[in-house]
């Protein structure tokens, strides 16, 4: 079967990172981040365009400097459960922290979404980027990197064990015999590990896709390794074509090293296409968007997020970049480390570092529809992604992409012309995981 592109939609309501001024746009409702109908309309449009999934980000800490969308938004699983009842094919991927949840509760919530949607649920596993989140859960400080990623790996394994509590044929519901449940097909987990102790079983059966699809977004060594072990979809950092190629090749290689099929992990890069009638008009609009969003105070606050929501305004902006390496370990260590190293090598001031975070960089997927399609095809053929996680500023921008770019990709055989499956796993070409107890029963019978 020929390789085709996967597309996901990443809505931001009134504007997230890179869209900070979006709330000022008269086409954007000021309550869109908490308006379920906004998301339903977006999901329907994406489903009409045969997208693989709708992806909802989340975090559980804010302060007044955060992007507008982050300040006032719906909880992902509640939101996606509502969207599920108004759609029938598009996958529904929600972000939830393995650091600030319990495995039994979260496994049950995702299993419920999987049933409500008919097998379309996905879980984006995060370890929580914002160090301030700890104070919302009764902890004095954020867990360190090694603990967070060790906990995440065990959390996913526990969740998968709970999702296998019932074998697929556990409920004969035989009225004549008076047998609703075959007790031999119900299994406790009895997990006792380093971070969790969970008895089980889970009180919900497997869905049409077996288990929710596991997504992960890892940049660090620990993140890449976690993804290679458990992820079935990845939200990759992107960057230049060469950087995307390196990440793609590295994660696929790591996946194979764990005895997994590299084709069973789908890598999505971020994309914010700007489509217009001409290349010149699209590039002009791209520059306008940058200027609309460019604000120094916001850039300084964004810099602080990489260091645990640190307030850099307390420092002299024109002095050398301050020594904040100790803050990186429990925040965004990889990104923060790169910032520190660049500031040191180039002898940058705090002002220069903050400005550089939002310097204008032409994006790859900008232009007339054919130009954008050409660029997507070139990146795809270069081995940079399996799919693109698309963010559009407005519904009109989504329509321009769907009406202009998608038909070209379809004509070239790069994108589906109809859904061929009903589940998220089916869309992504991922296998339904065998229930471990059924598998063990079969192996025992063969022995």
Q: What angle do CA 112, 116, 120 make, to 5 degrees?
A: 95
Burial class (CB in 10 A: 0-12, 13-18, 19+), 356: middle
Q: Are 201 and 166 in contact (CB under 8 A)?
A: yes
For helices 76-84 and 103-116, angle between their N-to-C axes, nearest 10 degrees:
20
b or e along 206-240 (b: 16 or more beta carbons within 10 Å of the residue's beta carbon)?
Answer: bbebbbbbbbbbbbbebbbbbbbbbbbbbbbbbbe
Cα 92 to Cα 122: distance, rounded to the nearest angstrom = 6
pLDDT of residue 446: 61
CB burial string 20-40: b at 16+ within 10 A, e below: bbbbeeeebeeebbeeeebbb
Evaluated on CA atoms 301, 302, 304, 309, the torsion sign reads positive
| Distance, CA of 370 to CA of 158 (rounded, Å) | 46
- Alpha carbon 394 to its chain's center: 20
Contact 366, 402 (CB under 8 A): no
H or E element that contains 225: helix 221-230
Which H or E element spans position 162? helix 145-163
The domain locations on the chain are 6-279+363-439, 295-356
Q: What is the pLDDT of residue 445?
A: 64
Nearest to 198 by CA among 275, 108, 124: 108
CB contact set of 323 (below 8 Å; sequence gap of 6+) = none
Q: Quick one: fold of 6-279+363-439?
A: TIM Barrel (3.20.20)
Token digits of residue 38: 């906004």
Query: What token pair was written down for 234?
Result: 């990845």
- pLDDT at position 329 is 64
- Six-digit token pair at 111? 């299993």
Please count the other Cβ atoms lying within 10 Å of the Cβ belonging to residue 131.
21
In sequence order, what DSSP letters do the residues of 45-112 get, joined into one string?
Answer: HHHHTT-SEEEE---S---TTS-HHHHS---HHHHHHHHHTT-SSSEEEEEEESSSS-HHHHHHHHHH
Residue that is written with structure tokens 């090749």 in the block:
249
d(CA 128, CA 423): 28
Reading the chain (447 residues) residue by residue, the pLDDT tens digits are: 468 999 999 998 999 877 888 999 999 999 999 999 999 999 999 999 999 999 999 989 898 888 899 999 999 999 999 999 999 999 999 999 999 999 999 999 999 999 999 999 999 999 987 778 888 898 888 888 789 999 999 999 999 999 999 999 999 999 999 999 999 999 999 999 999 999 999 999 999 999 999 999 878 888 899 999 999 999 998 889 999 999 999 999 999 999 999 999 999 999 999 999 999 999 999 999 988 878 888 888 888 877 877 889 899 999 999 998 887 665 566 778 888 988 888 998 999 998 887 778 899 999 999 999 999 999 999 999 999 999 999 999 999 999 999 999 999 999 999 999 999 999 999 999 999 999 998 766 665
What beta strand segments (E) does 86-228 contain? 91-97, 121-126, 191-192, 197-198, 213-216
- Identify the pLDDT of residue 1: 46
| CA contacts within 13 A on the Cβ side of 201 | 17
The per-residue pLDDT for 331 is 58
If you search the block for the tokens 């770019």, which residue do you land on?
Answer: 405
């Amino acid at each position: 079967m020929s390789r085709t592109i996967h597309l996901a939609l990443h809505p931001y309501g009134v504007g997230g990172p890179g869209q900070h001024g979006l709330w000022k746009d008269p086409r954007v409702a000021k309550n869109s981040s908490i308006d379920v109908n906004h998301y339903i309309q977006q999901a329907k449009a994406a489903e009409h365009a045969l997208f693989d999934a709708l992806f909802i980000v989340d975090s559980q800490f804010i302060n007044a400097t955060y992007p507008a969308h982050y300040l006032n938004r719906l909880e992902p699983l509640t939101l996606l459960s509502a969207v599920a009842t108004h759609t029938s094919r598009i996958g529904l991927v929600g972000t939830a922290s393995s650091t600030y949840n319990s495995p039994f509760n979260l496994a049950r919530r995702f299993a419920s979404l999987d049933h409500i949607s008919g097998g379309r649920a996905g879980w984006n596993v995060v370890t929580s980027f914002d160090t301030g989140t700890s104070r919302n859960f009764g902890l004095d400080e954020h867990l360190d990197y090694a603990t967070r990623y060790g906990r995440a790996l065990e959390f996913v394994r526990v969740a998968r064990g709970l999702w296998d509590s019932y074998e697929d044929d556990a409920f004969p519901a035989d009225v004549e015999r008076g047998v609703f449940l075959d007790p031999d097909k119900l299994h406790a987990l009895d997990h006792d590990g380093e971070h969790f102790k969970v008895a089980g079983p889970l009180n919900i059966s497997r869905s049409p896709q077996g288990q929710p699809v596991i997504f992960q977004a890892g940049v660090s060594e620990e993140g890449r390794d976690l993804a290679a072990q458990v992820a079935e979809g990845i939200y990759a950092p992107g960057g230049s074509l060469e950087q995307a190629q390196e990440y793609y090749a590295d994660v696929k290689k790591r996946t194979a090293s764990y005895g997994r099929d590299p084709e069973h992990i789908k890598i999505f890069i971020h994309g914010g296409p700007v489509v217009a009638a001409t290349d010149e008009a699209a590039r002009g609009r791209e520059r306008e968007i940058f200027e609309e969003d460019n604000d120094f105070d916001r850039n300084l606050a964004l810099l602080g997020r990489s260091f645990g929501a640190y307030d850099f305004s307390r420092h002299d902006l024109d002095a050398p970049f301050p020594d904040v390496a100790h803050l990186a370990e429990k925040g965004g260590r990889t990104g923060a480390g790169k910032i520190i190293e660049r500031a040191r090598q180039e002898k940058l001031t705090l002002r220069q570092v903050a400005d550089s975070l939002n310097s204008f960089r032409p994006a790859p997927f900008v232009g007339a529809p054919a130009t954008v399609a050409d660029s997507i095809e070139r990146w795809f053929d270069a081995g940079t992604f399996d799919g693109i996680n698309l963010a559009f500023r407005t519904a009109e921008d989504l329509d321009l992409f769907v009406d202009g770019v998608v038909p070209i990709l379809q004509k070239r055989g790069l994108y589906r012309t109809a859904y061929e499956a009903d589940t998220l796993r089916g869309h992504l070409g991922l296998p339904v995981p065998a229930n471990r107890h059924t598998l063990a029963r079969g192996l025992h019978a063969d022995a």
